[in-house]
Amino acid sequence: MTKPPDEFTDLPVSRQRKLQLRALKVGLCSGCFKQPVFRAERCKSCYAKLRKRNARYRLQNRRKYLLWLQRWRAANPDYAREYYRKHKVANRR
């Protein structure tokens, strides 16, 4: 048994994306098909999940950057010292 075709059937996107588009069309959360936040496309809990995941990625990027900075300072000690003296940076992290 197949579902009747609609305007999303022949779109060149994934099944998941089609589900999301159908949910948005009928005004439901595109993550979990519950009642969304007013004038938004996702519900409160889905936004909380997204925020949590983004925080994790931000932390990862922050750690990567600090590691890179540490290595760069080790590779260019004179340049780094001169930079901090010139710009009067107190907090070097």
- Stretch near Zn ion under the rule CB under 5 A, chosen from 1-9, 22-30, 68-76, 83-91: 22-30
Show contacts with Zn ion in window 39-58 (CB under 5 A).
43, 46
CB of 18 to Zn ion, least distance (A): 17
Q: Which of 8, 24, 31, 73 binds Zn ion (CB under 5 A)?
A: 31
CB neighbours of 30 closer than 8 A, spacing ≥ 6? 19, 20, 21, 23, 24, 41, 42, 46
- If one counts every other C-beta atom within 10 angstroms of the C-beta of residue 24, the result is 14
Footprint of Zn ion (CB under 5 A): 29, 31-32, 43, 46
